[in-house]
């Protein structure tokens, strides 16, 4: 018996990883990998049950089999320093952790990566790739900007709070190369004047 044949006979198949591992590895390692495989399979099955219909597609393979494709799934965060000097963490994407329990919520709408920059004016910058500017809807009220997009199978939604000293009616927007920029001037305060004492 050749050494290759000896190794082949002593392999254990792990389907999730699509690998074979030698059976002479520690049984503890094999048990850990099998438990990991079981949990991953369970998590993917659970996620598959919560995926909105819009994010599920069927694809026919060349051999005639039909498989399901899921997604796109996006999750990320950005960290910046706020005006008060403290870090500000902003999440984006269509996957959100569920506070207090394992698992994720999945939404059809993707929350775009957003940055708010405050100087003499306030700039709201959003990453919204693959859409036409005509499909972008922006609604302003109560010092909040709501941006919604439905375009060619892509869906985005984001609500951004802005400082109370901005003039929402004078907002200027541009959309280039998948980036939406909303510039909000600050309101000019009333000029002070001296009052004569009689």
- Say which residue, 153 or 148, is predicted with more confidence: 148
Band (136; pLDDT cuts 50, 70, 90): very high
**Residue partners of 182: CB distance under 8 A and separation at least 6:** 123, 124, 125, 126, 138, 145, 171, 172, 173
User: What are the structure tokens assigned to 127, written together?
Assistant: 């990453």
Residue ranges matching CATH 2.60.40.790 in the chain: 75-185
The architecture (CATH level 2) of 75-185 comes to Sandwich (2.60)
Structure letter (DSSP) for residue 30: H
Whether the pLDDT of residue 71 is over 90: the answer is no
Band (177; pLDDT cuts 50, 70, 90): very high
- pLDDT reported for residue 175: 94
Backbone angles phi, psi at 5, to 5 degrees: -65, -40
- Going from the C-alpha of 161 to that of each of 59, 122, 140, 165, the distances in angstroms are 41, 11, 10, 12
Per-residue model confidence as pLDDT tens digits over 87-127: 878 788 877 776 766 667 778 888 898 988 888 899 999 99
The rounded distance, in Å, linking the Cα atoms of 51 and 75 is 15
User: What are the structure tokens assigned to 152, written together?
Assistant: 């060619």
């Amino acid at each position: 018996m050749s050494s290759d044949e000896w190794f082949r006979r002593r392999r254990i198949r792990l389907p999730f990883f699509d690998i074979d591992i030698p059976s002479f590895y520690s049984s503890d390692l094999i048990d850990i990998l099998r438990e990991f495989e079981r949990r991953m399979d369970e998590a993917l099955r659970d996620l598959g049950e919560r995926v909105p219909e819009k994010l599920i597609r069927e694809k026919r393979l060349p051999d005639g089999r039909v498989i399901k494709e899921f997604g796109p799934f996006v999750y990320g965060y950005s960290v910046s320093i706020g005006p008060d000097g403290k870090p500000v963490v902003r999440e984006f994407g269509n996957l959100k952790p569920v506070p207090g329990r394992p698992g994720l919520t999945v939404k059809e709408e993707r929350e775009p990566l957003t940055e708010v920059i405050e100087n003499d004016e306030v700039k709201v910058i959003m990453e919204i790739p693959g859409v036409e500017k005509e499909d972008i809807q922006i609604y302003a009220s109560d010092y909040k900007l709501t941006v919604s997009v439905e375009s060619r199978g892509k869906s985005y939604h984001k609500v951004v709070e802005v400082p109370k000293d901005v003039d929402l009616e004078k907002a200027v927007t541009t959309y280039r190369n998948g980036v939406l920029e909303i510039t909000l001037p600050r309101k000019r305060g009333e000029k002070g004047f001296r009052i004569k004492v009689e």
